[in-house]
């Protein structure tokens, strides 16, 4: 497995979160998640303006194998979604932490970020699952 970016936060459901420090976050799925799903063939993106709770289904990725829900890591409002994935869902497989991001979120409460996992804690989660 590739090493985890240390500057990201993670969830037990295998999303990653990039904190932009201004109340906005970028969310994607981890390298582990994309590998487990296999080749992605469809991504259902949320619309900007959608309000979501922490843990609420916010997007769906479908691989050749199955459909899988992507959960919002925190409560907030969707402000953008990665339109590139409409034509090129495989971008998530190719670059899960970069061009394969899925949506952006504006959060009300920055303190909630503390509830997310850091890279060592997510690594432990993966080890516990294995």
Partner 1 sequence: MASKTPLFAEHQRLGARIVPFGGWDMPLHYGSQLVEHHAVRRAAGVFDVSHMRPLDLDGDDAESFLRRLLANDIARLSDPGQALYGCLLNDAGGVLDDLIVYRRGPNRYRLVVNAATADQDEAWIRARAAGHAVAIDRRDDLAMLAIQGPTGRELASPILPADLRAAAAGLAPFRSAEDGGWFVARTGYTGEDGYEIMIPSDDAVALWRALLAAGAQPCGLGARDTLRLEAGMNLYGQDMDETTTPLESGLAWTLAWEPANRAFIGRSALEAQRAAPTGRRQVGLLLCGPGVLRPHQVVLNRGEPIGEVTSGGFSPTLERSIALARVTGDAGRNASLAVEIRGRQIPVRCVRPPFVRHGQSRIDLSDS
Q: Contact residues for partner 1 (CB under 8 A)?
A: 38-39, 41-42, 44, 60, 62, 64-67, 90
Q: Which is nearer to partner 1, 42 or 53 (CB)?
A: 42
Minimum CB distance to partner 1, residue 115 (Å): 28
Minimum CB distance to partner 1, residue 41 (Å): 4
Which segments of 15-113 are extended strands (E)?
15-19, 24-29, 40-44, 51-52, 57-63, 67-71, 76-81, 103-106
| Paired strand residues for 68 | 61
Minimum CB distance to partner 1, residue 113 (Å): 29
């Amino acid at each position: 497995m590739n090493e985890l970016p240390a500057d990201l936060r993670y969830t037990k459901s295998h999303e990653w979160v990039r904190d932009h420090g201004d109340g906005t976050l970028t969310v994607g799925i981890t390298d582990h998640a994309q590998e487990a799903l296999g080749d992605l063939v469809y991504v259902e993106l949320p619309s900007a303006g959608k309000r979501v709770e922490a843990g609420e289904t916010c997007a769906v990725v479908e691989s050749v194998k199955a459909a899988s829900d992507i959960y919002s890591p925190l409560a907030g409002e969707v402000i953008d979604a990665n339109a590139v994935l409409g034509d090129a869902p495989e971008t998530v497989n190719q670059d899960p932490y970069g061009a394969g991001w899925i949506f952006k979120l504006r959060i009300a409460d920055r303190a909630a970020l503390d509830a997310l996992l850091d890279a060592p804690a997510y690594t432990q989660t993966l080890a516990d699952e294995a």
